[in-house]
């Protein structure tokens, strides 16, 4: 299995994913912040996770591989990209025909934690962006008091 964590930070999700996919799987982590990627690399090294590759870069400009990912994952970051539509188009290039895109993000509601509510995407906004990039939304669910979860599969390619 291969898992791509876009906006991975220091590996909150990428490190457990690397444990789950085991040595035959692959996890790719991407973040724009050098310090976060450095911390991720240190965590992976400390745990002996040789199946985790990471790099510093902009998601709008990064495609790790063509049709290689079982899961392309976004956690609390879709609203942070300069061009979320481009990032999702890149995700469409990376995900296998049988794969999934997963977006775990902040609800667009006032709360004492998280980013300012005005920059957040509602689950409807996020689902529309995901669909516009060539995905079919399979599920939109609540994920605790602060988050929603969207799971989508790629639309079949025509031609």
List strand residue ranges (DSSP E) for 2-79, in order: 2-6, 26-31, 52-56, 69-75
Q: State whether 117 and 76 are in the same domain.
A: yes
Tens digit of pLDDT for each residue in 74-106?
A: 999 999 999 999 999 999 999 999 999 999 999
Q: How far is residue 68 from each of residues 18, 52, 83, 109, measured CA to CA in Å?
A: 16, 15, 23, 35
In a shared domain, residues 118 and 143: yes
Give the 3-state secondary structure of residue 22: coil
Question: Across all residues in the chain, what is the average pLDDT?
Answer: 96
Same domain, 81 and 126: yes
State how far Cα 36 lies from the chain centre.
Answer: 15
Q: How many domains does the chain have?
A: 2
Model pLDDT, residue 83: 97
Q: For residue 127, give the CATH number of its domain.
A: 3.40.50.150
| Confidence label for 50 from pLDDT (cuts 50, 70 and 90) | very high
Are residue 50 and residue 101 in the same domain, yes or no? no
* Cβ 7 vs Cβ 80: under 8 Å: yes
Range(s) of the domain holding residue 109 = 66-159
Give residue 156's pLDDT: 85
Question: Which pLDDT score, from 0 to 100, does residue 23 have?
Answer: 81
pLDDT at 93: 97
Are 85 and 157 found together in one domain? yes
């Amino acid at each position: 299995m291969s898992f791509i964590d876009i906006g991975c930070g220091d590996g909150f999700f990428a490190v457990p994913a690397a444990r789950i996919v085991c040595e035959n799987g692959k996890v790719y982590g991407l973040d724009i912040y050098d310090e976060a990627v450095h911390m991720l690399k240190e965590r992976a090294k400390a745990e002996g996770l040789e199946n985790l590759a990471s790099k510093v870069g902009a998601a709008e400009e990064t495609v790790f591989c063509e049709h290689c990912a079982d899961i392309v994952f976004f956690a609390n970051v879709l609203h942070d990209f300069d061009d979320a539509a481009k990032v999702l188009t890149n995700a469409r290039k990376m995900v296998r025909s049988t794969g999934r895109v997963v977006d775990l993000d902040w609800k667009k509601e006032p709360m004492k934690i998280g980013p300012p509510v005005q920059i957040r995407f509602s689950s409807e906004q996020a689902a529309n962006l995901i669909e516009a990039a060539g995905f079919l939304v399979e599920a939109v669910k609540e994920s605790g008091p602060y988050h929603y979860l969207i799971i989508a599969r790629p639309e079949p390619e025509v031609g």
